[in-house]
Structure 1
Amino acid sequence: MSNVAIVGPGGVGGLLGGMLTRAGHDVVYVARPETAALLNERGMNVHSVQFGDFSVPAPAVEALSSPAELCVVATKATTLSEALDRVPPSFGGVLLPLLNGVDHMETLRARFPSARVVAGSIRVESTRVAAGRIEHTSPFSGIDVAGDGSDVVARLLGGAGFDVTVRDSEASLLWDKLALLAPLALITTAARASIGTARETRRDDMTQVVAEVAAVARANGTQTDPAAILSILEQIPATMKSSMLRDAEAGRPLELDAIGGSVLNAGARLGIPTPATARVVDELRPLS
């Protein structure tokens, strides 16, 4: 049995925390006061097409004060700074961020110098419909990790039922994800439409952004093929909306800096031109 902290009890954090509790681990959620109060009252209730329906206790605190072997950070990038204020800088366990983008790795390592920060990426469709109520609608939940501490993540999350893959390269893991996510998020949000419509109305932008992000990804050690990314985007069901588009529709802050900004920052650092990506990011800036 291990002690685990979950920062951000949303769709991903709630699902992971619920499964870890069901596997016998001591899980504590770190959340805003109102959310912490509801979790302490209601527990964590998961409806999952993969794991079934179950309810478990969900002890929650406003700030982490006890040691934890693993701390999962599963917030939106837009709320990361506030969330990290709830974790002491002296945290010395394994820290697993399941965030969009790449720039957060440097931020976390600077803020928690004693922690082992593991790069992570999750493939899952899981939504928080209310505090302590999780709808996991995908028949899969795959997690890729890389870096020192990956063995701890694989043991805990793999033992709890998730499909965990340990990869050799942190950069490759993060950029493989961003190479698909950035074009999908930026183009659907710029089009204010699902991917089917966005493919038609913003095709030139989509093609150019894919090529630019792929070039930056390759410079960071991946084997990204822009033709393969375009093929995946063509095969996504036409009604699919990116999470960034859903945030825009709901009037929530966009993860624009984490997704588009990561590409622009890396491109500038490596001398790779990204004019189409910059133009789309500028178009979306008023929404962020």
Structure 2
Amino acid sequence: MNTRATTEQNPAPWTVAVLGPGGIGGLVASLLARRGHRVIVVAGEQTARTLNEQGLTLRSGQFGDGTLPVEAVTELTEPVDLCVVATKETGLAEALRRVPAAALGSGLVLPLLNGFEHVALLRETYPAGQVVPAVIWAESTRTAPGVIEHTTPFCRIELASAAAPAARVAALGALLEDAGMGGLVREDETALLWGKLTFLAPFALLTTRHAAPVGTVRSEHREELISVLDELARLAATVDVPTEASALLDRFDNAPEGMRSSMQRDAAAGRPVEIEAIGRALLRQADRSGTPVPALTALVTSVAKAHGAS
């Protein structure tokens, strides 16, 4: 059963560190700061300087435009109630050095990364009972240091933890709900993470491989799409997450025709693509479970080769 905590469980301001003030991290930081929480952004030296001098600007059709002052540091040196980890998988290991476990204290850790393998790394770095896996549904981009553009009419975070105390997870859900970010608490963290990945992986990989929006993928490359979705459904079953390939296909067929993935935009701009978290992690699970995934393997290999992710 899913639960939604009420804001009454979270009346007092929190101190929140946000590691990685990019599109997603900047959006979350802005929305929490607007609700009166103390936000400490953890970033590189130049970005931290810009944020301290100019504040954090959010432009959003859903939440409105505005600039708020935030604290920005290059390394966390004090305990916080919550640390939001919003880097991409490609820079996670290096970024975590900016948030030492000793400085974090007993604060919760909320990762908003794609994939599932990052959870193990975080639970090796911080106490397992403080890590609350989550997914976020939003499209948000950093257009300049300290400037965030949120372009979807929604921002929804869902969370679950097999290790954190239920009361703490509920309080975190209440914090997010109060800030306009959903905060739905789910029971199964594996189902939560795979529920997003089984849509995100084919969407990101296929739009990137074919340099085309989802409408073109589902019409001109439908046979490949169906093969990949069938394999992903079988793969999800190996981690006890029942998934219907037909339901995944329905999501593709109902997506806006011009929808493009962030991986596709990263590839077009020459930035690193998240091939490990979104692609190769699935192939590793296929190897562990002995599940043949030839279409997915060919897709991941093609994207990796084309975009220098050797």
Please state if 1:136 is matched with 2:155: no
Matches of 1:224 and 1:208, distance apart in 2: 14
Secondary structure, aligned partner of 2:152 = coil
1:2 to 9, 14, 19: 14
Please state if 1:203 is matched with 2:187: no
TM-score scaled by length of structure 2? 0.89
Matches of 2:117 and 2:128, distance apart in 1: 19
Please state if 1:254 is matched with 2:267: no
Please state how far the C-alpha of 1:114 moved relative to its aligned partner.
6.2
Please state how far the C-alpha of 1:273 moved relative to its aligned partner.
1.4
Matches of 2:138 and 2:281, distance apart in 1: 22
Q: Deviations over 1:68-127 (max 9, x none)?
A: 110000111111112111110333310000000000000110111366111101111222
Please state how far the C-alpha of 1:214 moved relative to its aligned partner.
1.4
Please state if 1:216 is matched with 2:235: yes
Matches of 2:176 and 2:99, distance apart in 1: 21
Q: Which residue of 1 aligns with 2:180?
A: 161
Q: Which residue of 1 aligns with 2:59?
A: 47
Q: Which residue of 2 aligns with 1:68?
A: 80
Matches of 2:195 and 2:280, distance apart in 1: 16
TM-score scaled by length of structure 1? 0.96
2:284 to 262, 265, 286: 265
Secondary structure, aligned partner of 2:98 = coil
Please state if 1:99 is matched with 2:118: no
Matches of 1:138 and 1:193, distance apart in 2: 19
Q: Deviations over 1:25-73 (max 9, x none)?
A: 1110000111111111110111221222222102111111111110000
Q: Which residue of 1 aligns with 2:264?
A: 245
Q: Indicate if the aligned counterparts of 2:61 and 2:153 stay in contact, CA closer than 8 A.
A: yes
Identity of aligned residues (%): 45
Length, aligned pairs only = 288
Secondary structure, aligned partner of 1:95 = strand
Q: Which residue of 1 aligns with 2:204?
A: 185
What letter corresponds to residue 259 of structure 1 in structure 2?
I
Matches of 1:12 and 1:263, distance apart in 2: 23
Q: Indicate if the aligned counterparts of 1:47 and 1:135 stay in contact, CA closer than 8 A.
A: yes
The answer to which of 168-177 and 147-156 deviates more is 147-156
Please state how far the C-alpha of 1:220 moved relative to its aligned partner.
1.8
Q: Which residue of 1 aligns with 2:132?
A: 118
Secondary structure, aligned partner of 1:45 = strand
1:89 to 98, 101, 114: 101
Matches of 2:257 and 2:217, distance apart in 1: 9
Matches of 2:300 and 2:98, distance apart in 1: 30
